[in-house]
Amino acid sequence: MRLATLRLAADRLRRGVLAAGAFVMVVAAAAFLAHLPPDRGAATGNERAAPSVADVQAAYDRAALSADGLHDGDIRIVGVDCRPGTGMRFSCQVGFVKSEFDPARVFLDTALVERTPKGWTLARGLCRRLI
């Protein structure tokens, strides 16, 4: 049994640098994204209205068509709960069903959707792979 990570972590703790470095990975993973304001509900006007189930389904369908099989092909969205992010972006809890499963089973994922001149687009989530 080897505990390379653990020993490394212990070493860092002893040297007192862990506190400073603790969140490097979290931040790095999010760094390619715009910074979200802490405000959870700053919608002003219609253009800031949260996306509906149909909007997120449309964004997903558009991405699924163009993503070379990076999405499951049969996601039907049945519920969303979105909060505003930076600009025209919304962070959403998305519930969906899949045809090969019991239709009562609601899968859950998070997704980042953005309003663009072409309509709602999917920036993250629902199986879209960026790497």
Q: Say if CB 77 and CB 120 are below 8 A apart.
A: no
Tell which one of 57, 64, 111, 114 touches other proteins (CB under 8 A). Answer: 111
Q: For the beta carbon of residue 98, count every other beta carbon within 10 angstroms.
A: 15
Q: Say if CB 34 and CB 90 are below 8 A apart.
A: no
Distance of closest approach, residue 115 Cβ to other proteins, in angstroms: 15
Alpha-carbon gap, residue 68 to 29, rounded angstroms: 24
Distance of closest approach, residue 109 Cβ to other proteins, in angstroms: 5
Distance of closest approach, residue 45 Cβ to other proteins, in angstroms: 22
Task: Note the maximum CA span of the chain.
Answer: 58
Interface residues with other proteins (CB under 8 A) are: 1-10, 12-14, 18, 21-27, 29-30, 33, 35-38, 40, 70-72, 75, 78-81, 83, 85, 91-95, 100, 102, 104-112, 124-131
